[in-house]
Amino acid sequence: MCKYLNIIVLFVFLISFDVQAQTPFMKGDSLPDTIRISKTEVKAVAQQIADSLKPKVFKPNPMKVVWMGAIIPGYGQILNRRYWKLPIVYAGFMGCAYAIAFNSSKYQTYKTAYRDILRYSSDADYQAIVDKDHSKVSFYQILPPGYTDFSRFNGVSGFTKTLKNKQDSFRRYRDLSIFATVGFYAITIIEAYVDAQLYDFDISPDLSMRVQPALLRNAYGVPSTLGLQCNLSLR
């Protein structure tokens, strides 16, 4: 508000200079302490004032968006002023982080159980210890509630194979979760860059689309199925 007030005062001051400069002087009058400013200069100043009052068009810097988005995930969307995309970005990262943590935890669980059951199968002393008290043994804790032996898995060998498959599966899921996180991170940067490039892209209001129900004809030209018809028009 102060900025606009100062501009208006300056404008009025310049006009007063021009009016005083054009006032004729009588003989014997003392020259006023003023300077002559032409109408062209006044118009130029007025044009500058008008230009300064025009609202500036926002245009994001694509390269700045890329670098800041790479350093801080989601910051590219902030620079583009697309604040509504931030919940989507951070929800995606939270989902990827949860997938990595969950699959890593399961992988470590089955990895420990597989290692212990291999020792159980080859070490008689360890097997005797486990058979006495298996409440805290890793592979026994994986068994479904109510099962105290490996009969459901065709013995120890079958259960060992099951643990090995589970270990490999969760390790693969963990790696895929990491790749998905990296991919999602790259997508957020690319999306912010494209959005910055197309920020001032104008879609013509003459382009319209209309979707309406329609009867679809079969091979014989007879209406047989109810569907949707989409029409694009450029006026």
Q: Give per-residue pLDDT as tens, 77-115.
A: 999 988 999 999 999 999 999 999 999 999 999 998 888
Q: Are residues 40 and 69 in the same domain?
A: no
Same domain, yes or no: 109 and 23: no
Question: Which phi-psi region, left, alpha or beta, contains residue 155 (left: φ > 0; alpha: ψ -120 to 50)?
Answer: left
Q: Which among 33-37, 41-45, 84-88 has the top mean pLDDT?
A: 84-88
Distance CA 91, CA 77 (A): 14
Label residue 16 by pLDDT band (50, 70, 90).
low
pLDDT of the residue at 128: 64
Domain-embedded: residue 12: yes
User: pTM of whole model > 0.95?
Assistant: no
Asked whether the predicted pLDDT for residue 197 surpasses 80, the reply is yes
Are residue 82 and residue 175 in the same domain, yes or no?
yes
Question: Rounded distance, CA 157 to CA 148, Å?
Answer: 16
Residue 93, number of CB atoms within 10 A of its CB? 16
Same domain, 8 and 106: no
Contacts of 162 (CB under 8 A, 6+ apart): 153
Residue with more model confidence, 127 or 184 = 184
Give the structural domain span for 7.
Answer: 2-53
pLDDT > 70 in the chain, percent: 55
Mean model confidence pLDDT for the chain? 75
Whether residue 159 has pLDDT greater than 80:
no
What CA–CA distance (Å, rounded) separates 156 from 114?
A: 11
Sign of the Cα torsion 52, 54, 59, 60 reads positive
Are 118 and 47 within one domain?
no
Tokens, residue 191: 């999306």
pLDDT of res. 162: 83
71 shares its domain with 186? yes
Same domain membership, residue 106 and residue 6: no
Let me know whether 38 and 94 are in one domain. Answer: no
Query: Is the domain of 37 the same as that of 146?
Result: no
131 pLDDT band, cuts 50/70/90, is low
Number of domains into which the chain is organized: 2
